[in-house]
Amino acid sequence: MLLLLLTAVLGAPPDQPEFTVNGADSDTPTGKLTAISLTLGAQVSTADGLKTVKGVVSLRQAGRPLPPFPDGAHIVTAIGDRIPGAFAGGDTKQLRFRHVTSTGDWAITADMVAAVWLRPPPADTPPDPAKYAWLNGPAPRDALLYRNGDKARGAITGFTEHGVKFTADAGAPREVPLVDLTAIGFNPRLVRARKPKGPFAHLVLTDGTRLIVSEVAVKGNALVCTAVCGPAFEVKLAQVVALDVMQGVATYLSDLKPTKAETVGFLDPAWDWAADRSVRGQPLRLKLGDDENTFDKGLGTHPKTVLNYDLAGKYTRFESLVGLDTVTGKRGRADVRIRVDGKEVPLPELKALTAGNAVPVKVDVRGAKELRLVIGFGPAGDVQADVNWGAARLVAE
């Protein structure tokens, strides 16, 4: 804790933004971030003095919505990183990429990269690389997506300053100019998803960047980070929208397997629930205030769905932001209930859930054995009733 205390004594620069910090206990102080450690906690300078938060779950910059995923040129890694910027080449071990806020190239571990978008993806592109039709085929291969829509499958052997060294299946080696391509995809069988064994953080920046980082620290007006995919970097605190600590005191429902899951259709076939995506395979979008927020973690559901989770008495609270999808739930209604050990939690705003602001939920589950989420039909059945659970998680002390 000494590092946190020493950093806090120095104070926060006057132009630093304020953050709301959520931790293991129920306090959520808002102030200027003076120190943070993924294992020790965080300190914020508030109007009432210095506050210490142990067991950091998340922090959010006050007044900043969670931005959508990058929609221009960017890299997508196997662990969910989305890094907007310019591709600068590389080799079979490292790719060079210039982040939009950086002046130098980042060295990114090549076998963690799922795809490189050299230009904006087509509008119908799914968020998950595993769903890219042009990349995934019966035999896993590297793939190129051309600007005219053509696709080529084969093996990438390297890069030049302006092109990709590529050998197409049943073809000869050649160099494909980058200007001819929309995207480069890497053999899914060879892409590695390596996450730290201990606590790590999911970082969201104002430009839509998503990064998994293994180390963070406050340095003046900046957050110093080490990305799991390779680069160490600094980013201004004003550019930090959110930081969520994984494998710490919080466990996300999307990382758990329900002990029981039931889905029933109204007139059409039932909709399966989804982890970290809406039921339609799109990002989890919710309205908060006047802004649309895009969540990376959570559940996508549709009436009627019942999900049971085994708590084993290990947690103190369940929390989430629950609402209808801002795109596919504009006119929907749903009847949402939460039950703990069979007893319904009184949440009247969820029983008649309509389009609009998401409902913040914080439920005491101390000593509880089971959590049940029930998404029922509304007055119009299941029409446009896509219910998203943003940042649905269980927190332990």
Assess whether pLDDT exceeds 50 at residue 232.
yes
Assess whether pLDDT exceeds 60 at residue 372.
yes
- What's the pLDDT score for residue 11? 53
Q: pLDDT-based confidence at 14, cuts 50/70/90?
A: low
User: Among 3-7, 11-15, 337-341, 373-377, where is mean pLDDT lowest?
Assistant: 3-7
Report the top-level CATH class of 251-395. mainly beta
Q: Can you name the CATH fold of 74-185?
A: SH3 type barrels. (2.30.30)
Residue spans per domain, the chain: 2-61, 74-185, 251-395
Task: List pLDDT tens digits, range 17-35.
Answer: 999 999 999 889 999 999 9
Q: pLDDT-based confidence at 10, cuts 50/70/90?
A: very low
Task: List pLDDT tens digits, range 86-113.
Answer: 999 998 899 999 998 777 899 999 999 9
* φ/ψ bin of 111: left (φ > 0), alpha (ψ from -120 to 50), beta (otherwise): alpha
- What's the pLDDT score for residue 13? 60
Helix (H) or strand (E) holding 38: none
Tokens describing residue 183: 């995207």
Contacts by 82-86, CB closer than 8 A, 24 or more apart: 82/208, 82/209, 82/210, 83/108, 83/209, 83/210, 83/211, 84/207, 84/208, 84/209
- Provide CB contacts within 8 A for 209, sequence distance 6+: 70, 82, 83, 84, 99, 100, 203
- What's the pLDDT score for residue 337? 98
Task: List pLDDT tens digits, range 40-72.
Answer: 999 999 999 999 999 999 999 999 999 999 999
**Domains 74-185 and 251-395 alike in fold:** no
Q: Can you name the CATH fold of 2-61?
A: SH3 type barrels. (2.30.30)
Query: 266 or 14: whose pLDDT is higher?
Result: 266
- What's the pLDDT score for residue 4? 47
Q: pLDDT-based confidence at 268, cuts 50/70/90?
A: confident
- What's the pLDDT score for residue 6? 40
Alpha-carbon distance 246 to 294, whole Å? 18
